[in-house]
Amino acid sequence: MTTAFLHIHVLVVILFLLLLLAKAFLLFFNQHDHLNRVRSSTKMLDIVFGTLTLVSGGYLALSYNGPLPNWLLVKVVLVLAAIPLSIVGLKRHSKVLTATGVLLFLYVYGIAETKSLKIRADKGEAVAVSPGGKVGTASPDPEKASHPILSQLEGTQLENAKAIYNNLCANCHGEDGQKGASGAVNLQLSRLNVEGRREVIANGRGLMPGFGSQLSEQEIEALALYSTLLKK
């Protein structure tokens, strides 16, 4: 259900933004009569898209398991401000208000895609795991030698990491990392390196909560390393 709402939310936001950009284009090129006709004919669409954006976004926020991250809180506030600002700007033919609304929506879309207020997604190198369980970062070119080994899970540490994963992660990611419940990333296909995985485990991302307050740094490190063992 959450995944369906996520897809609906993304689709509605894109449609609303495209419609807003089209009307903003008419305003910026002083096509006021044409703009008024378009606004009149799309008034119902504005209401539907705006309502669906708020409803689906509200459902996703309420379904979030854990404290809401800063980027999500900012996104909610900006959407609540951008919708009326854009509508008022177009109604009054105010280029300043309309431009502000458009920029806010573009920024919100960027936040949603990158899960970052800086609109910059983590860029991790692929993780290479040897048959013996040794973990290292792989060169972008698969034919080149991998980087030196970073760490190795074995014995009790491996069992503890597996237990933590099954308790906190398997419900959404699955024991093999491929379940994908509630929009969870397929860990077998993830290209995040160990550092990127530690960051996500500690602080969360998307609908995934952060576990930094529940796990020690050693446990987060072990869990990040264990998740790389699920890669194909």
Least confidently predicted of 47-61, 84-98, 148-162, 163-177: 148-162
Taking alpha carbons only, the member of 19, 81, 25 closest to residue 47 is 19
Distance of CA 12 to the CA centre of its chain: 16
pLDDT band at 215 (very low <50, low <70, confident <90, very high): confident
What is the pTM assigned to this prediction?
0.53
Instruction: Report d(CA 146, CA 85) in Å as an integer.
Output: 52
Helix (H) or strand (E) holding 151: strand 151-152
Overall residue count recorded for the chain in this entry = 232
More confident residue, 144 or 197: 197
Domain 127-228 in CATH 1.10.760.10? The answer is: yes
Query: What distance in Å separates the CA atoms of residue 14 and residue 97, rounded to the nearest whole number?
Result: 20
Alpha helices (H) along 29-146: 32-41, 43-62, 70-91, 95-114
| Contact (Cβ atoms closer than 8 angstroms) between residue 161 and residue 172 | no
